[in-house]
């Protein structure tokens, strides 16, 4: 427990003077997490393959919150680029206290036999390999320093895989295993947890057919997909001292989609 919690428990959600790095941070859930972290006092590193989008969000962060924001272009599916991303963030700020492995991809394919080796390798690289390498490098730095928090972002496809996202579901399931193993690897100074989102109505959802949206509304207990900013509560909890006794956890934010699955 921190001293702040004795007087005001909401202070435990603050991230004052922390540095948070979010991959896939320029859009969707990553953008919402970046903004929330900055509003709660953190300086932020916004990383994605689209540097211009990262730079635009960095300006927004600085204007709205007064916190420092570093925009970095990086392809987390590439091992060397993960190392370079971690190095540049550490060189710029001196430390990284929160890492969110949020980058992901799930390309469409016609049938299981038509999944190419290139597609399979790309999905595994972005969704799993990059998270491992960044966690290994930055988790080690956190462990050698003041500690920190690593948050992996998986998907309900890890527990409810479908025929249209086979490699993606396998990679996200691997991310659950990675969460649990790294929680033990970096304990006690670094906590490693995972958010498992369901369907969120980000910009990607604009391409979903109406039949898919109708199915969500009919089948989910909450009768809707999630608004992007509904990820914020879970992200702040796991990033901050509010979750100081949580590690190796998988937190479902899915509108009840995986109810009864643990």
- Residue 258 covered by a domain: no
Q: What is the pLDDT of residue 174?
A: 98
CA 179-184-185 angle, 5° bins: 95
**Per-residue 3-state assignment (H helix, E strand, C coil) for the chain:** CCHHHHHCHHHHHCCCCCEEEEECCCCHHHHHHHHHHHHCCCEEEEEECCHHHHHHHHHHHHHHHCCCEEEEECCCCCHHHHHHHHHHHHHHHCCCCEEEECCCCCCCCCCHHHCCHHHHHHHHHHHHHHHHHHHHHHHHHHHHCCCEEEEEECCHHHCCCCCCCHHHHHHHHHHHHHHHHHHHHCCCCEEEEEEEECCECCHHHHHCCHHHHHHHHHHCCCCCCECHHHHHHHHHHHHCHHHCCCCCCEEEECCCCCCCCC
pLDDT score for 6: 64
CATH (domain of 237):
3.40.50.720
What is the residue range of 235's domain? 3-246
* Residue 110 forms part of a structural domain: yes
pTM equals 0.94
In a domain, 256, yes or no: no
Distance CA(145)–CA(139), nearest Å, equals 10
In this prediction, residue 219 carries a pLDDT of 86
Decide if 255 is inside a domain. no
Within a domain: residue 145? Answer: yes
Q: What per-residue confidence (pLDDT) applies to 1?
A: 44
Residues written for the chain: 262
The answer to whether residue 226 is domain-embedded is yes
Phi, psi of 149 (to 5 degrees): -135, 130
Query: Could you report the average pLDDT of every consecutive run of 10 residues in the chain (262 residues)?
Result: 65 97 97 98 98 98 98 98 98 98 94 97 98 98 98 96 94 98 98 95 76 82 92 98 98 88 60
Give a yes or no: residue 122 inside a domain: yes
Task: Verify whether residue 109 is a known catalytic residue.
Answer: no
Number of domains in the chain: 1
Domain annotation covers residue 253? no
What confidence score (pLDDT) does residue 210 get?
Answer: 84
Tokens 């859009």 appear where?
27
> Which candidate in 120, 168, 237, 259 is catalytic?
168
CA dist 152 and 138 (Å) reads 13
């Amino acid at each position: 427990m921190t001293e702040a919690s004795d007087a005001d428990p909401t202070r435990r959600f603050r991230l004052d003077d922390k540095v948070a790095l979010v991959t896939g941070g320029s859009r969707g859930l990553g953008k919402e997490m970046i903004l929330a972290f900055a509003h709660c006092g953190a300086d932020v590193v916004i990383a994605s393959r689209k540097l211009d989008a990262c730079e635009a969000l960095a300006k927004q962060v600085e204007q709205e919150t007064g916190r420092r924001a570093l925009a970095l272009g990086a392809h987390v599916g590439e091992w060397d680029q993960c190392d370079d991303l971690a190095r540049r963030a550490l060189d710029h700020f001196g430390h990284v206290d929160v890492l969110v492995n949020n980058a992901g991809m799930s390309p469409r394919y016609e049938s299981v036999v038509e999944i190419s080796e290139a597609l399979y390798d790309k999905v595994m690289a972005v969704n799993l390999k990059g998270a491992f390498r960044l966690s290994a490098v930055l988790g080690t730095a956190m462990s050698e320093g003041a500690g920190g928090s690593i948050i992996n972002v998986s998907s309900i496809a890890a527990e409810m895989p479908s025929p249209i996202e086979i490699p993606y579901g396998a990679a996200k399931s691997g991310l659950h295993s990675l969460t649990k193993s790294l929680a033990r690897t970096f304990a006690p100074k670094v906590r490693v947890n995972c958010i498992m989102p369901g369907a969120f109505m980000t910009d990607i959802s604009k391409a979903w057919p109406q039949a898919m949206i109708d199915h969500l509304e009919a089948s989910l207990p909450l009768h809707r997909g999630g608004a992007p900013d509904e990820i914020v509560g879970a992200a702040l909890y796991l990033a901050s001292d509010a979750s100081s006794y949580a590690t190796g956890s998988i937190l479902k934010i899915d509108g009840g989609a995986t109810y009864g699955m643990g």
